[in-house]
């Protein structure tokens, strides 16, 4: 009774709780929130003092690596799963409030959260409890590749195999889907963060210079590539020279970044190849005919489709608006739940 | 790819849907002197799919794939991807992208301690109660006044007076609808009896002048544009009684505790729906004639309607006189 009453004041939300970014899709409104999953925590008066949230989202991300002693900017999710339960709950609470228009009533929406397909029961339960603690009236969980495939507009309900590769911040998931179900899925803990890390390591090794997470990400966005292209692009970055101990500026080019990214990229390619190996032959031929669909922020890495195409010999296409595929797919799944009561793609 | 050469054989599209990207792709490929089969091998696509794309024949492929193929094809040919996709969208219809809307900023500070669940639950329960009250009130028709002065305590006062009067001939009232004030009437009679008897004269100092003046002022003023021949219903009280009167349109004309000796004149559209807390103590007159009041058991509330609807005035369903 109360649940239904509360429902009047709340919208249904689909949340892509990602390692790097959290996206919220509201039925009928589209993507209403796209913010980094970063929380800055202020702890005054020493180590035992009261802790409070100083900033969440974009604001907090600007603080990453730039905080004084009493503020720590952390990412509460690591590799697709919750690393800090309390902070995740607070972050979700903040985001849910932010997208909730009605300021009078406490939001208590039905929430669908996407979880990596490799996540354990414990990790799923943590996400469920965390969303519940953040004010959700009901929590549904859906596996990320399923949501990504729905969001990318793949014909998941047909008796035809579709392969989707979702490269997120913390994990990459590859799955073969047919008849509304996942035939094969695998998750590797490689994603955008690993790319950044690889760039940082490369720069330290080859230039003897330390750069921060944010700088590495900027380098990746601007000149990162997965396949050698025709043009070589350059970027000037500043970092702390380890030998001299002072900030120095230097120039990186796209070939160097390509080299730096080899290791994480080969991990992803390996996962795709394994998936193709494990896929039943009938579905494999469907995949070979239409190709692999890339979603997630990682799909925006330049020429990643090209790399996969060359490595697998299959057509590879990047979905439209790959960053929001999962959240949109989750929203569509919520609609299906509401309209038809079909919850076959949900997980416990 | 920039110049538009002599009209090609495929320009003869009579129905004239917007031109797709196929023509542009084909010309770019031919301009570069590339073979379809070679390109197909490079893109790992069957040559027939590339051919179909060049013919603007998108077939039954889901748009995700078609767009992806077009994108890779355009990239391979060195064309800008966006115009190609734009042409495709014009041709195939929009594939509505999700609208990006920016939410309003909200207070940032969220404490890291435990949330105060109790407070929230209390607030939500209160909100639900207010909402339910609003729902029930709003559902029963348009209300003339915003709210009367504390209606709920009034019915409780009537109950002590219900006991003493003459035991009337018991014509049992069929309790069809549980009314709002009913629980209060039978709820707490003893506790409030002493308060009521002492408080009633003190707090209502002017029953006598009001009875003499028979002023309709305390009753809600007649509706701004009612039919002119409004009927007068007169209520005379021999003892204290809770009285409610609604007219044909559901407006609440009386909702009050009348005291012994009170005379209340009510102007409105018949038929009236009358509720008496103490039926034995109230005489009802309509059109100058006394209306028989159905007798209920002592302490029971009776409801009945008075008057017949005027031909033009009352479109509401007519309730004949008598207990309902």
For residue A209, the cross-strand partners are A241
Q: Do B131 and A86 touch (CB under 8 A)?
A: no
Residue among A256, A287, A258, A286 nearest A272 (CA): A287
B228, two tokens: 């002119």
B87, two tokens: 């042409």
Pairwise CA distance, residues B248 & B243, whole Å: 17
Q: Does residue A77 belong to the interface with chain B, where contact is any CB pair within 8 Å? A: no
Q: Does residue A267 belong to the interface with chain B, where contact is any CB pair within 8 Å? A: no
Mean pLDDT of B59-78: 86
Cis peptide bond N-terminal to B271, omega within 30: yes
Q: Do B44 and A309 touch (CB under 8 A)?
A: yes
Cα dist from A209 to A64, A199, A243, whole Å: 19, 11, 8
Residue B26 has pLDDT above 80, yes or no: yes
Task: State the best of B49, B63, B64, B118 to mutate against chain A, taking most chain A CBs within 10 Å.
Answer: B64
pLDDT band at B100 (very low <50, low <70, confident <90, very high): very low
pLDDT in tens, B212-240: 444 444 444 444 444 445 678 888 888 88
**Is residue A159 a contact partner of residue A288, using CB atoms and an 8 Å limit?**
no
Indicate the SS3 state at residue A187: strand
Length of chain A: 348
Mean pLDDT of B84-106: 59
Choose the most confident range, by mean pLDDT, from A235-244, B73-82, B166-175.
A235-244
- In the prediction, which pLDDT does B283 show? 85
Which among B65, B112, B115 has the least Cβ separation from residue A53? B112
Q: Do A317 and B131 touch (CB under 8 A)?
A: no
B239, two tokens: 């003892």
Which residue numbers of B have CB closer than 8 Å to A's CBs? 43-46, 61-65, 67-69, 71-72, 95, 97-106, 108-113, 115, 120, 123-124, 127-128, 131
Q: Do B97 and A320 touch (CB under 8 A)?
A: yes
Q: How far is A178 from chain B (nearest CA, A)?
A: 15
- In the prediction, which pLDDT does A264 show? 96
**CB-CB neighbors (< 8 A) of A55 in chain B:** 108
Tens-of-pLDDT digits for all 348 residues of chain A? 555 555 555 678 899 998 889 999 998 888 999 999 999 999 887 777 788 899 999 999 988 888 888 898 999 998 888 899 889 999 998 998 888 876 666 777 889 999 888 788 998 999 999 998 888 888 999 999 999 999 999 998 889 999 999 999 889 999 999 998 899 999 999 999 999 999 999 999 999 999 998 899 999 999 999 999 888 999 999 999 999 999 999 999 999 999 999 999 999 999 999 999 999 999 999 999 999 999 999 999 999 999 999 999 999 999 989 999 999 999 988 888 887 776 667 777
- In the prediction, which pLDDT does B103 show? 32
- In the prediction, which pLDDT does A125 show? 92
- In the prediction, which pLDDT does A346 show? 79
Mean pLDDT of B285-314: 73
- In the prediction, which pLDDT does B49 show? 87
**Is residue B139 a contact partner of residue B276, using CB atoms and an 8 Å limit?**
no
Size of interface A-B (CB pairs under 8 A): 113
**Is residue A200 a contact partner of residue A107, using CB atoms and an 8 Å limit?**
no
Q: Do A153 and B63 touch (CB under 8 A)?
A: yes
Burial group, residue A244, by CB count within 10 angstroms (0-12, 13-18, 19+): exposed
Question: What are the helix and strand counts (H, E) for chain B?
Answer: 10, 9
**H-helix or E-strand containing B198?**
helix B189-203
Beta pairing class for B302-306 and A81-82: unpaired
Vertex A325, ends A320 and A328: CA angle to 5°?
120
Indicate the SS3 state at residue B256: strand
Which among B98, B110, B123 has the least Cβ separation from residue A30? B98
Residue among A73, A170, A86, A81 nearest A121 (CA): A81
Residue B76 has pLDDT above 50, yes or no: yes
Pairwise CA distance, residues A219 & B318, whole Å: 81
Q: How far is A86 from chain B (nearest CA, A)?
A: 8
Mean pLDDT of chain B: 66
**Sheet strands side by side (includes B231-237):** B263-268, B231-237, B282-286, B289-291
Q: Does residue A32 belong to the interface with chain B, where contact is any CB pair within 8 Å? A: yes
Pairwise CA distance, residues B17 & B67, whole Å: 19
Indicate the SS3 state at residue A304: helix
Q: Which residue of A has its CA nearest to B43?
A: A315
Q: Do A293 and B65 touch (CB under 8 A)?
A: yes
Q: Do A105 and B127 touch (CB under 8 A)?
A: yes
Pairwise CA distance, residues A263 & B96, whole Å: 37
- In the prediction, which pLDDT does B303 show? 85
Indicate the SS3 state at residue A217: helix
* More confident call, B207 vs A76: A76
Mean pLDDT of B122-132: 89
Which among A53, A133, A317 has the least Cβ separation from residue B68? A317
In sequence order, what are the residues at sequence separation of 6 or more whose Cβ sits closer than 8 angstroms to the Cβ of residue B290?
B283, B284
Q: Which residue of A has its CA nearest to B107?
A: A98
Check: complex ipTM more than 0.90: no
Q: Does residue A305 belong to the interface with chain B, where contact is any CB pair within 8 Å? A: yes
Residue with tokens 């794939």: B65
Q: Do A291 and B64 touch (CB under 8 A)?
A: no
Pairwise CA distance, residues B196 & B309, whole Å: 38
- In the prediction, which pLDDT does B247 show? 84
Tally of CB atoms within 10 A around A169? 25
Q: Do B109 and A99 touch (CB under 8 A)?
A: no
Indicate the SS3 state at residue B26: helix
Length of chain B: 324
**CB-CB neighbors (< 8 A) of A25 in chain B:** 98
Residue B287 has pLDDT above 60, yes or no: yes
Mean pLDDT of B107-121: 56
Pairwise CA distance, residues A99 & B102, whole Å: 9
Q: Rounded to two decimals, what is the model's pTM?
A: 0.62
Which among B97, B106, B124 has the least Cβ separation from residue A97? B106
Which among B72, B99, B104 has the least Cβ separation from residue A305? B72
Q: Does residue A317 belong to the interface with chain B, where contact is any CB pair within 8 Å? A: yes
pLDDT band at B173 (very low <50, low <70, confident <90, very high): very low
Residue among B305, B148, B303, B174 nearest B231 (CA): B305
Q: How far is A252 from chain B (nearest CA, A)?
A: 25
Report residue B171: phi and psi, to 5°.
-110, 105
**Is residue B236 a contact partner of residue B279, using CB atoms and an 8 Å limit?**
no
Q: Does residue A157 belong to the interface with chain B, where contact is any CB pair within 8 Å? A: no
Q: How far is A204 from chain B (nearest CA, A)?
A: 34
Pairwise CA distance, residues A288 & A316, whole Å: 10
- In the prediction, which pLDDT does A97 show? 86
pLDDT band at B15 (very low <50, low <70, confident <90, very high): low
pLDDT band at B94 (very low <50, low <70, confident <90, very high): low
- In the prediction, which pLDDT does B166 show? 47
In whole angstroms, how large is the CA radius of gyration of chain B? 40
**CB-CB neighbors (< 8 A) of B68 in chain A:** 291, 293, 305, 315-319
**CB-CB neighbors (< 8 A) of A52 in chain B:** 109-112
Q: How far is B133 from chain A (nearest CA, A)?
A: 13
Which among B67, B98, B124 has the least Cβ separation from residue A31? B98
Q: How far is B22 from chain A (nearest CA, A)?
A: 18
**CB-CB neighbors (< 8 A) of A50 in chain B:** 112-113
**Is residue A278 a contact partner of residue A286, using CB atoms and an 8 Å limit?**
no
Q: Which residue of A has its CA nearest to B125?
A: A2
In chain A, positions 89-108, which contact chain B (CB-CB < 8 Å)?
Answer: 90, 93-94, 97-99, 101, 103-106
Pairwise CA distance, residues A27 & A328, whole Å: 9
Q: Which residue of B has its CA nearest to A312?
A: B44
E strand segments, A205-344 = 209-210, 234-241, 247-253, 292-295, 316-318
């Amino acid at each position: 009774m109360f649940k239904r009453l509360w429902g009047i004041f709340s919208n249904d939300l689909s949340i892509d709780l990602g390692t790097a970014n959290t996206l919220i899709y509201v039925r009928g409104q589209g993507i209403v929130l796209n913010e980094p999953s970063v929380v800055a925590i202020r702890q005054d008066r020493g180590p035992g003092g009261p802790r409070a949230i100083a900033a969440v989202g974009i604001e907090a991300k600007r603080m990453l690596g730039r905080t004084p002693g009493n503020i720590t900017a952390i990412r509460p999710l690591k590799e697709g799963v919750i690393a800090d339960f309390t902070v995740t709950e607070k972050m979700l609470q903040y985001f849910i409030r932010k997208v909730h228009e009605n300021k009078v009533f406490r939001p208590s929406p039905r929430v669908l959260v996407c979880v990596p397909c490799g996540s354990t029961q414990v990790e799923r339960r943590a996400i469920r409890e965390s969303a519940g603690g953040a004010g959700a009236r009901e929590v549904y969980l859906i596996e990320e590749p399923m949501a990504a495939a729905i969001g990318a507009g793949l014909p998941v309900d047909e008796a035809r195999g579709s392969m989707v590769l979702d490269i997120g911040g913390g994990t990459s998931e590859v799955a073969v889907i047919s008849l509304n179900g996942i035939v094969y899925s695998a998750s590797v803990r490689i994603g955008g963060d690993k790319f950044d890390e690889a760039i940082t390591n490369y720069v330290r090794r080859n230039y003897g210079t330390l750069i921060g997470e944010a700088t590495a990400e900027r380098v990746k966005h601007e000149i990162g590539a997965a396949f050698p292209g025709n043009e070589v692009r350059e970027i000037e970055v500043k970092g702390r020279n380890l030998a001299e101990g002072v900030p120095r500026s230097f120039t990186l080019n796209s070939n160097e970044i390509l080299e730096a990214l080899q290791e994480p990229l080969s991990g992803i390619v390996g996962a795709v190849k394994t998936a193709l190996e494990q896929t039943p032959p009938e579905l494999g031929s469907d995949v070979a005919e239409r190709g692999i669909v890339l979603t997630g922020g990682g799909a925006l890495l330049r020429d990643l489709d090209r790399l996969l195409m060359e490595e697998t010999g299959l057509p590879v296409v990047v979905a439209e608006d790959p960053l929001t595929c999962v959240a949109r797919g989750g929203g569509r799944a919520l609609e299906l739940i509401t309209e038809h009561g079909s919850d076959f793609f949900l997980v416990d | 790819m920039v110049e538009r050469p002599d009209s090609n054989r495929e320009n003869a599209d009579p129905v004239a849907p917007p031109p797709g990207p196929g023509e542009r792709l084909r010309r770019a490929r031919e301009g570069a002197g590339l073979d379809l089969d070679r390109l197909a091998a490079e893109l790992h696509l069957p040559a027939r799919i590339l051919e179909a794309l060049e013919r603007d024949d998108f077939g039954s492929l889901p748009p995700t794939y078609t767009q992806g193929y077009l994108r890779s094809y355009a990239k391979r040919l060195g064309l800008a991807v966006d115009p190609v996709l734009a042409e495709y969208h014009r041709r195939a219809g929009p594939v509505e992208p999700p609208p990006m809307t920016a939410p309003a900023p909200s207070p940032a500070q969220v404490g890291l301690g435990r949330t105060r669940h109790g407070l929230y639950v209390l607030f939500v329960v209160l909100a639900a109660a207010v909402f339910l009250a609003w729902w029930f009130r709003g559902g029963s028709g348009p209300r003339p006044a915003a709210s009367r002065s504390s209606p709920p305590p009034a019915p409780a006062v009537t109950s002590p007076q219900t006991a003493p009067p003459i035991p009337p001939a018991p014509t049992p009232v069929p309790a069809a609808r549980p009314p709002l004030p009913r629980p209060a009437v039978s709820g707490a009679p003893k506790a409030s009896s002493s308060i009521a008897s002492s408080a009633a004269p003190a707090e209502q100092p002017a029953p006598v002048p009001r009875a003499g003046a028979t002023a309709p002022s305390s009753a809600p003023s007649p509706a701004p544009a009612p039919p002119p021949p409004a009927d007068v219903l007169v209520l005379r009280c021999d003892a204290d009684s809770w009285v409610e009167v609604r007219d044909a349109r559901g407006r609440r004309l009386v909702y009050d505790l009348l005291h012994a000796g009170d005379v209340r004149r009510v102007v409105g559209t018949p038929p009236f729906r009358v509720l008496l807390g103490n039926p034995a103590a109230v005489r009802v007159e309509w059109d100058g004639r006394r209306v028989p009041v159905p007798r209920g058991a002592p302490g029971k509330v009776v409801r009945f309607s008075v008057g017949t609807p005027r031909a033009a005035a009352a479109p509401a369903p007519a309730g004949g006189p008598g207990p309902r």
